[in-house]
Structure 1
Amino acid sequence: MNGYANNKDQLLARLKRAEGQVRGIARMVEEDTYCIDVLTQVSAATKALEAVALSLLADHLSHCVAEASAQGGSVAEEKIREANEAIARLVRS
């Protein structure tokens, strides 16, 4: 079971809202909306996706990494490495 199983409905709802925001941004560009207004909506969509990413990361740490840490050894090392790489990707984006 994935760590986000208990939050799956919330995550899907957030993703659907972000999807709607992105469609709205495309519509704004099609309609030649003022640049700053489009950028404001891009920022909002970006924040929505970041919130999903942070929620997934928190679930991964509290579920997958915690379980692997209890097992110890190479399994724990691998999960910690994965988490570190995911955090690095989020920070770079």
Structure 2
Amino acid sequence: MGHLTANKNDLLARVKRIAGQVAAVERGLERDAGCADILHLVAAVRGAVNGLLDEIVVDHLHEHVARPGLSDAERSTGAEELMTVIRRYVK
């Protein structure tokens, strides 16, 4: 995951925003907010997590599958890792 260090601060900022959004869901539930409000908050969390996942998947694809100079074994490993994540995500 060393290649993620170039975007580390951006990724951490995204994670902190997601944590803030999850905290907003918790606060909404604690104050008995309406279900529509909670649904909007949860949808925002899901969108943010999907955006984070998308960014990391694309980076993984570029670095571990499509980068010139990778051996066939490295490319295969990178693809398998990506397929495992995708399978877990779509369940």
TM-score by length of 1: 0.85
Higher RCO (CA 8 Å, separation ≥ 6 residues): 1
Runs of 4+ in structure 1 deviating by more than 4 angstroms, as ranges, are none
Task: Point out where structure 1 has 5 or more consecutive residues left out of the alignment.
Answer: none
* Contact 2:64–2:74 (CA under 8 A) maintained in structure 1: no
* Contact 1:11–1:52 (CA under 8 A) maintained in structure 2: yes
**Deviates further, 35-44 or 77-86:** 77-86
Identical amino acids, percent of aligned pairs: 32
The 3-state SS of whatever aligns with 1:70 is coil
TM-score by length of 2: 0.86
Task: Point out where structure 2 has 5 or more consecutive residues left out of the alignment.
Answer: none
RMSD of Structure 2 on Structure 1 (CA): 1.9
Q: How many residues align?
A: 91
* Contact 1:69–1:76 (CA under 8 A) maintained in structure 2: no
